Every structure is written in C-alpha cells, then in structure tokens.
C-alpha cells in the first residue's frame, strides 16, 4: 500500500524508520510533506529510496498514487486538511486526535468518509485498554476518568487555566487541570491527545473526566484510566517513556501508529 506522510516530526520520523527497518514491509511511503521543508528532507534522507517531497499540501493530498495519508502534524492540520483528504478519496490516519472533540467537525468527517467509502483510523496512542473500552461501550458505561501525570517541563508552552504557573523549581505534584476531555483539549492541544482518544472510544468528550498533574518527582508520562459500567470495572496504568526525538511525544504513541499501519496491511487481526 502506498502512503503519504503529513508531518515529519517525532512520530513521522519513527514511521519512516520502521519502514526502513522492514517492520512495515507492505507499506511504501512515496511522498512526504511538512511545513518545515528541512524536516521533510531529513525524513526522506533516511530511506534508501527517498520519497517525493511535496512542495505544498495540495501536492500531497491530490497525489493519485497513494491510498492513505498519515497525519502526524498538529490539530490545526487535521482541521485544515482532513476533510479535503477524504474528499480526494484518500483514507486517513489521525494522530492529533484532539481536533475531533469538536462534535460537528467529527460528524462531518464521519459522514464524508461514509459517502466516499473511505476509512479514518485513530490509533490507541499512549494509553492502554482502548479495545476493552470499545467493547464495553456497546453496553452502558457509567463513568470514564483519565488521570495524567507529566513532568512540569512538558507543560511549559501550554496556556494553563486559572492563571496557574509552571516553573522548573516546583517541588510538589500540582493539579493544573480538572474538568472534561473537551475543555482539556482547549488548554493542552499538544500534550493530551489521549483524552480525546479515550473519550471517542467511550462516552464522549463532555462526559469524560480528566485530571492533569504536573509532577516534578517523575520523568515519565503516566496515564491512569478508570472506567465503570455494566460490564464491571476497568483500570489501566501506563508509564510511558518520552520519545527521544520529542519529549512531549510518548514513544508508545509512535509505536501505536506503526502497529495500526501494520494492522491495515495484514491479513489477520487480533483484538477488538
């Protein structure tokens, strides 16, 4: 299967490396695009047979030889280009899932995909238990909670609610957000996509509870999920090491994208 890559940051680079290492043996990356051409060139240079570097976004989206575009850029890229990608009869994998907490936009993408007979793929990302939560959602789910802990440095560039200030001299864990998944995305568009994925797999962004803690005592990104419903109780706990390419990206999130690509091209599926 021929694919195009939208975004050549940490996740994009790891996808390219997986293809070079033979992990994605049935996947060919034939065109890449990034607003920063230098990053696109860096990605392309890693491949024995370098892909085409698109000069602009339209050159990527309108390429007739690709079946799937992998978005690994930003929520803004999803909002700006996802609809056009589907309308150009391309399947789409979305990593910046936070863009989908906008219910109207989400429904528009789903309707367009259905009309065009296209697929939208959303990897599990940096959390565990999404397969069980999807199954549980066929019954009644009463409560979904995400508790995320990250080192303070992960939030330095975010605009925090209530005038909260983050600094490198923090000594104690501090709750910097408590609310629903939709509001969490407004404040943390780059660092809490897991909240969107969890909410879309369960009871929706407005009902999914999110607590975010800046914790100077840890170096990892920690995500704890608690779900209660007719099925019983589910609890997962994941301690993610950050990607060496970008500390705001969990390595597991990149591996999730790679595994989703493998799943698309494989002939057997394990799990929900």
Q: Which structural domains are found in the chain, ordered by start? A: 2-125+252-265 (3.40.50.720), 130-241 (3.30.360.10)
pTM of the model: 0.94
Confirm whether 223 is a catalytic residue: yes
The one-digit pLDDT tens for each residue of the chain (272 residues) are 999 999 999 999 999 999 999 999 899 999 999 999 999 999 999 999 999 999 999 999 999 999 999 999 999 999 999 999 999 999 999 999 999 999 999 999 999 999 999 999 999 999 999 999 999 999 999 999 999 999 998 887 667 787 777 877 788 999 999 999 999 998 888 778 999 999 999 999 999 999 999 999 999 999 999 999 999 999 999 999 878 777 777 899 999 999 999 999 888 888 88
| Sequential DSSP letters for the chain | -EEEEE--SHHHHHHHHHHHTTTTTT-EEEEEE-SSHHHHHHHHHTSSSPPEE-SSHHHHHT-TT-SEEEE-S-HHHHHHHHHHHHHTT-EEEES-GGGGGSHHHHHHHHHHHHHHT--EE---TT-S-HHHHHHHTTS-EEEEEEEEEE-GGGGTTS--GGG----TT--S-EEEEEEEHHHHHHH-TTT-HHHHHHHHTTT-TTT-EEEEEE-TT-SSEEEEEEEEETTEEEEEEEEEPBPSS-TTSBHHHHHHHHHHHHHHH-S-----
pLDDT at 157: 67
pLDDT at 33: 98
pLDDT at 158: 66
Catalytic residue among 90, 154, 209, 223: 223
């Amino acid at each position: 299967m021929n694919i195009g890559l939208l975004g050549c940051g940490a996740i994009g680079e790891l996808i390219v490396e997986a293809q070079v290492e033979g992990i994605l043996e049935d996947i060919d990356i034939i065109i890449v695009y990034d607003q920063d051409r230098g990053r696109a060139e860096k990605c392309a240079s890693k491949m024995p047979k370098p892909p085409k570097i698109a000069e602009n976004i339209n050159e990527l989206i309108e390429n007739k030889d690709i079946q799937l575009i992998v978005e690994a850029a930003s929520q803004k890229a999803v909002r700006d280009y996802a609809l056009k990608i589907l309308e150009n009869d391309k399947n789409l994998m979305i990593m910046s899932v936070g863009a989908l907490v906008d219910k109207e936009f989400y429904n528009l993408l789903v309707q367009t995909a259905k009309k065009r007979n296209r697929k939208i793929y959303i990897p599990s990302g940096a959390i565990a238990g999404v397969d069980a939560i999807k199954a549980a959602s066929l019954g009644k789910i009463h409560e979904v909670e995400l508790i995320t802990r990250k080192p303070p440095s992960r939030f330095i560039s975010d605009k925090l609610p209530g005038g909260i200030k983050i600094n490198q001299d923090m000594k104690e864990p501090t709750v910097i957000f408590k609310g629903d998944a939709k509001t969490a995305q407004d404040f943390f568009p780059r660092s809490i996509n897991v909240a969107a994925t969890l909410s879309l797999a369960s009871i929706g962004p407005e009902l999914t509870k999110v607590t975010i803690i800046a914790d100077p005592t840890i170096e990892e990104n920690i995500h704890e999920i608690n779900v209660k419903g007719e099925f019983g109780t589910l609890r997962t706990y994941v301690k993610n090491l950050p990607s060496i390419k970008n500390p705001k990206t969990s390595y597991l999130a990149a591996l999730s994208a790679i595994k989703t690509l493998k799943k698309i091209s494989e002939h057997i599926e394990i799990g929900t």
